[in-house]
């Protein structure tokens, strides 16, 4: 990839995963989101260097291995470039939480994603896992990252907002493009962004599109969603690539330059781009 798009100095990719090397960090399960190949941190950093990305956030994946170890190892080796989001068990010790916090973990991810009334991925952390952990995580300044569709977020928000956290919503609210931006859940989420309690990742166009996501994809059917989120509150947005794009068939694996071109089309103002790529990640993740 060439640095043709001119990313600002300090640009941040706020949603990636790492897997392996498998001899040290074996994946723990099969399924749609199991990695087809190793994707170690060294490969990630080389990609970022080719793109002009300075730093980023590893979201520990259920299939990446036990107890956040592969992500923790990466953060300890590259503390200036990396932050992390964990998957936890309710019995995690204070000592382990302190170790993760000191290494650069800033949030925990909860899996609540459904599409067409069905769970997309089983496993991961649930709200029942989160509730007993909430006081200890809040004490350490962590946030909660939610993998959830905006209609379900609208329904769950009254209970979620009783918890002592800010919420970071994955993949533009994971609303499929054919629902349109007037879909009630998405409109409600745009209003939530204005409260200062919620953040959103401008990522996942390849997962929300109905028009294909392989090389050369434009993701045009997702553009209105990204534009609406930017209009709602650019101070609460970050961008992410979702590398290495697990769960796609080989022909549907998106290219990072195509995803960035979508971002540049939807965010034409240089100052707003810098806010989303540099300033907001620094505040949210403590770079």
Catalytic residues: 242
Spatial separation of the C-alpha atoms in residues 98 and 77, rounded to whole Å: 17
Alpha-carbon span 89 to 86, nearest angstrom: 10
3-class DSSP state of 105: strand
Tokens 């199991």 locate to: 34
CA atoms within 13 A on the CB side of 38: 12
Task: Return d(Cα 272, Cα 56) in angstroms, integer.
Answer: 18
How many CA atoms lie less than 13 Å away from 251 in the CB half-sphere?
2
Of 184, 96, 189, the C-alpha closest to 137 is: 96
Distance CA 237, CA 201 (A): 6
Q: Is 220 helix (H, G, I), strand (E, B) or coil?
A: helix
- The alpha-helical segments, DSSP class H, found in the chain are 41-51, 69-77, 94-103, 127-139, 150-160, 184-193, 205-208, 223-232, 256-266, 270-274, 280-285
């Amino acid at each position: 990839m060439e640095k043709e798009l001119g990313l600002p100095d300090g640009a941040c990719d706020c949603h990636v995963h790492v897997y392996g090397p498998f001899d040290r960090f074996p994946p723990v399960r099969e399924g749609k989101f199991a990695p087809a190949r190793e994707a170690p941190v060294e490969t990630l950093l080389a990609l970022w260097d080719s793109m002009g990305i300075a730093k980023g956030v590893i979201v520990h994946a259920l299939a990446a291995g036990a107890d956040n170890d592969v992500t923790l190892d990466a953060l300890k080796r590259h503390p200036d470039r990396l932050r992390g989001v964990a998957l936890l068990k309710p019995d995690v010790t204070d000592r382990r939480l302190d170790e993760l916090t000191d290494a650069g973990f800033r949030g925990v991810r909860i899996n609540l994603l459904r599409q067409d009334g069905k769970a997309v991925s089983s496993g991961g952390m649930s709200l029942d896992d989160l509730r007993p952990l909430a006081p200890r995580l809040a004490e350490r300044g962590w946030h909660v990252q939610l993998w959830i569709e905006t209609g379900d977020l609208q329904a769950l928000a009254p209970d979620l907002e009783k918890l002592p956290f800010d919420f970071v919503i994955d993949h533009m609210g994971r609303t499929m493009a054919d629902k349109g931006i007037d879909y009630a859940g998405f409109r409600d989420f745009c209003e939530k962004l204005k409260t200062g309690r919620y953040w959103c990742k401008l990522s996942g166009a390849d997962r929300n599109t109905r028009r294909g996501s392989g090389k050369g994809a434009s993701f045009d059917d997702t553009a209105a969603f990204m534009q609406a989120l930017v209009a709602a509150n650019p101070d609460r947005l970050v961008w992410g690539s979702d590398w290495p794009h697990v769960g796609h068939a080989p022909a549907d694996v998106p290219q990072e330059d195509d995803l960035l071109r979508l971002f540049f089309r939807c965010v034409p103002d240089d100052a707003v781009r810098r806010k989303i790529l540099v300033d907001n990640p620094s505040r949210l993740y403590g770079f």
